[in-house]
Structure formats: C-alpha cells, structure tokens
Amino acid sequence: MSNFTEMDCYLFGQATHYDIYRKMGAHKMTIEGEEGVCFDVWAPHADRVYVIGEFNGWNETSHEMKRVTPETMGVYELFVPGVQIGCMYKFLIIAQDGRKLYKADPYANYAQLRPETASIVTDISNFLWSDTEWMNARKKLSKEEVYEQPMAIYEVHPGSWMRHPGRDDDGFYSYRDLAKTLIPYVREMGYTHIELMGISEYPYDGSWGYQVTGYYAPTSRYGTPEDFAHLVNECHKNKIGVILDWVPAHFPKDAHGLAEFDGTATYEYADPRKGEHPDWGTKIFDYGKNEVKNFLIGSALMWIENYHVDGLRVDAVASMLYLDYGKEDGQWVPNIYGGNKNLEAIEFFKHINTLILGRNPGSVMIAEESTAWPKVTGTVEDDGLNFSYKWNMGWMHDFLDYMKLDPYFRKDNHNKMTFAMSYNESEKYILVLSHDEVVHLKCSMLNKMPGLEGDKFKNLMAGYAFMMGHSGKKLLFMGQEFAQEREWSEKRELDWFLLDDPKHKHMQDWVKALLHLYRKNPCLYEQDTTWAGFEWMNANDYERSIFSFVRKSKDGKNNLLFVISFTPVERDDYRVGVPGRHTYKLVLNSADPQFGGTDTEDTKRPLSYKAEKKPCDGRDYSIGYKLPPYGVAVFKF
C-alpha cells in the first residue's frame, strides 16, 4: 500500500495538492500492523534514491526507495518499520552521472541545529491548541473588515531581541522564553502584531533567515516545532497576531539544500540566466513547474493552517516579478513577448494569494515590493496580484530623506512628507521602518537624526508621531522604540541597558503612548485607504516646516488633529485651521515631562481649546497653541 497515491500524484502535478506537507517528508504511520515512518521525496531525474539515518547506522545501500506510480512523477517512497520520533535522517540521491548527493528532506518539519544538516523525524499534528477564541474571531473577518482593523507591527529577530548572558551556547531565547518575555512587552507597549524574521530553517546566521533550506521547519535555533506552536498559541491568547517572513524568491546553494537536488535543476530554473541571482549568489525557483509551485504553496499553507500564523510577509517580491532584477544585459532572458516581466511568477502570486486568503479568512499576505508595479494589492479580476498589503517603500525613503536633513533645509523638501498621500489610494499600504533601515552603515533611527543629542531625540519623537498619524498600517523594527544607538546586529542582543538613561526611557514611553493612542482611536486605522479618513489642514507650511492634518473615523466621532513641527523654533501662538466650531482636547503633548518635555506646573498647556472664528489655512475656524521646538500636539474632537 502506497502513502503517496495516484490522486496525490495528480494533484501534485497540477500544483493543487494543498495538504502536500501531510504526504511528503517523513510521517509516522502504521502499515499492516507495523509502526514506523513513511519517507517520501520528489527527485524526478535521480537514478536511485536511498534513505539513510540513525535507524540504519547511516548505511547507504540498505534502504533503497521505490518510485511510486506513475513513475514519471518522480516521487520516491519507503516505509521503514521501527523508526521513532527524533530519529535523524537524510536522502542519498544517486544522480544520473553517478554523483552521490546527501540531501536534507525539503519537506522536513524539524532539522538539526546548524552547522549540522540532517533532518529529524517529528509529528507536527499533535499540538493542543487553546486559541479558539482568536481563530474564530479571525475567520469572521471579511477582506474589507481586515483593512478596518488596527495593525501596529513589532518586527523581531528572535535571536537578538534578548539573550541569556554567560551561556556557552549562543544564549538564544527559546520560543518558550519569548512567550514569557516578548509577549508581555509587546502587549504593554501596545503593538497588535509581532513579525518574526527568519523562522524557516536556514544554515547561516548572517542571512537572518532569508536564505532558507527548510521551508517546512521552524528553525531549531530556538527549540522544537511544538515550542514554536506554543509561542503562536500564547500570542493569540494575549490577542497578538503573528506574521512570518517567508522567502519564495530564492534559495542558497548549500550542498544539503534544494540546489540541484537530484543532480539537475530540480527546484530552480535550468537556464542560469533565469535560475540564478548574480548579486546574491542564490538560486531562483522555477515558477513554471507545478511541483515547485506546489512545494511553495504547501509551505505557506502549513504555516497558516497548521501553525495558526496570521499572515506572511513575502520577501523580495520585486526580484520575482522582474526577469532582469539585479542583472545586466545578457544576464537575463526576456519573456515570450520580449518583456522583462516573469509571467510565471505573476500567475504564482495570483494563485497563492487567492488560495490562502480564500481558505483562511482574516489572514493576510503582505508584499515587500520596492518598485511601482501596479495593483500589487489589486484583485485578480482587475489583473492585480491580490496581496492584502504592500510595504510602502516610497514613503519610507522620502520620510528618511527628510528626517536626515538639517532643519534649515527641510523647507525645500517639504513635499517629501506630503507626497505619499497623493498615491495613498493606489494600494493598501503598511508604513515600514524595518531592520533593513538600521544595518549596513545606515545608522540606527536615532543616529539618522540631525543635530546634537537632545535634538536627535526630539526629531525622532516628531518623526514617529508623523508616522503614527499618517494613513497606513505601521511596522517598527525592535530597538527603535527606545532609540537604540548602535546599528542592529544579529550577533548580540539589543542594548536594553540604554533604558537606564532617562532620554531612552522617555522615547520608549513616547512610542508606547503613540501606540495606545493608535489602538484606542479607530480614526487612525479604519479608513486607511481612502481620503475619507485623512484631511490636510495645512500641507503647505513649508517655511516653518510644520504639518497639520486630521484623521477621521467612519462615524465622525473622536477625530484627531495632529500638529507636528520639524524645526527647533518655538511658536508661542501657532494658529492652525480646524474643521469646525468644536472643542479640541489635547490628548498627546511632546512637551509633557513624562516624555522629557519642558512643561512644568507653571507653564503647563491648557487641555482644552475652543475653536475661534478666526480664518486660517482656508478654514473659518482655528485654534492657537504654544508649539515647542520639534513640537507634537494631538487633539481629539
């Protein structure tokens, strides 16, 4: 009796075997009364395939696998009685040219800790979940309702958020350690989601998890698959969503990995002009092969359906969409129409996004796409790629270019801060200040800021307030919430000792206040993708480098007015136009002493401001406010 049936072969060959991870790989089962493990692997051009491991003393010839019917599919299978959970194994593939290839299982659910490379038999189906309330609420969300939810993401590299001091090993926090420490921190700060970098198994720490060898295995650096499931479960019980970085764009050439898996270009394009990234030294998946597409689709579905993950942030989407991405003339092959679009990758995205969001209401697919490719979040019916969200890289570049400037020169670059709203309705956006912006000599967020130390902090406070008020969901990389001074490195934990310095503690408190303001006020998230939720009061005060705008809720209640100054000049009576004759209640003030501000009992600003019939900014009504240097004032009305 075969585990991998003719129907399995058919579905796999159509790229529609959505439970492929329950068939391929190594699975405990009982056949004809004998308990053991059934091994299945796809190696279509192999001459022979053997399974080797602890169970047979790594004997290379004792356990030859057989091709299942139809043999043209290239799936090999062998049931081995007596094999137990925890047993290490590999596939020995004899290529047609006689080479011996020792490969980890592409579908393995668990792997040895690097630098070792064997796969490990496990069972990921037995975890006892207790996140029913979260999962049921997620399933009830329509696609439009997803967009109306708050999303403030804390991007985390698990291996360097915190570490155990003085340990002989790397001192990594385990998944269970993170459940005890990261979750309370994220919850207290006010984030809605955690995004985890580098969870799929990978061999090289310095790749941060973006060069994957195990697309079906949570990395063993931080524990077992069950430990990872525990972390997700605890996040959900604490009403925190979990997003994983997922890398279907490319894979490394490590000998035990996917590259030339059966001695030929199995998972990658055969033509190196299509199958290799010259800049990255990696292989590109062949999106024209159904079995390869099914491999990737199965991985995505496993994370979302088996591990209850709430969404995937798809890395390097642009490199998949463009055949000439990172390549010179002669290094790439045009498509059948002579263009530079990868038509197979486009169809892959339409397929996988429609499938995942259709099968899993309330989940999200997020594109890290750095170009002006149209309709990334558009529907398939409108020839879009059907992602839920797109990282707004344009906003990020303009924002950072502006924030780095000496305040004297900001008046000439005012449009860098206003431009993103002109195209805001074209996609569903997430505003991102990610790990990529604080590595490779780009400086930490704090040290991007101009001026002396005090000015750096005030600049960054104003920048974070602008980000939180602007349309779009939010993402901030770990450590930047308390103004990490050094660039991030995966080799050490964050500089938590900085919180002993009041300036850094004030920054953390400021970001916390912004996050709680965001979560408590639907005007900041329920109408992110339309002008109905945003209105400039004054987008043109470039001489003073001050921005004022209103965020509006659907019901017209509890709207917020933001006034943000990006110069070190105090304005004793800054007058700003307002939408009507309301009372404007000051709910966030950067001059408050709890954030390191200079207000005292004697100089404290009033908490309420009645609109006066004094025309300003093209409005009939306005309020006057004493705006401090780099001042931020948020009013509710």
Active site residues: 315, 368
Decide if 318 contacts 243 (C-beta within 8 A): no
Question: How many C-beta atoms surround the C-beta of residue 48 within 10 A?
Answer: 15
- Can you name the residues that pair with 562 across neighbouring β-strands? 549, 634
User: Residue 469: how many CB atoms within 10 A of its CB?
Assistant: 25
> What is the 3-class SS of 557-577, one letter each residue?
CCCEEEEEECCCCCEEEEEEE
Amino acid identity of residue 528, one-letter, is D
- The answer to whether residues 479 and 182 touch, using CB atoms and an 8 Å cutoff, is no
**444: exposed, middle or buried (Cβ count in 10 Å: 0-12, 13-18, 19+):** buried
Query: How many C-beta atoms surround the C-beta of residue 329 within 10 A?
Result: 6
Tokens linked to 227? 């430990």
CB 45 within 8 A of CB 266: yes
Spell out the alpha helix ranges (H) of 371-428. 393-403, 407-410, 415-418
The residues pairing with 578 across neighbouring beta strands, listed in sequence order, are: 621
The secondary structure element, H or E, covering residue 584 is strand 583-589
Tokens 């002579």, located at residue: 338
List residues bridging with 26 in a β-sheet.
39
Q: What are phi and psi of 573, to 5 degrees?
A: -145, 70
Residue with tokens 């269970």: 176
Record the tokens describing residue 209, joined without a space: 């998890």
CA–CA dist 266, 342 (Å, integer): 19
Length of the chain measured in residues = 637
Token reading at 25: 């790989």
Q: Please calculate the CA angle 478-483-488 and round it to the nearest 5 degrees.
A: 50
427 to 106, 192, 529: CA distances (angstroms): 35, 21, 7
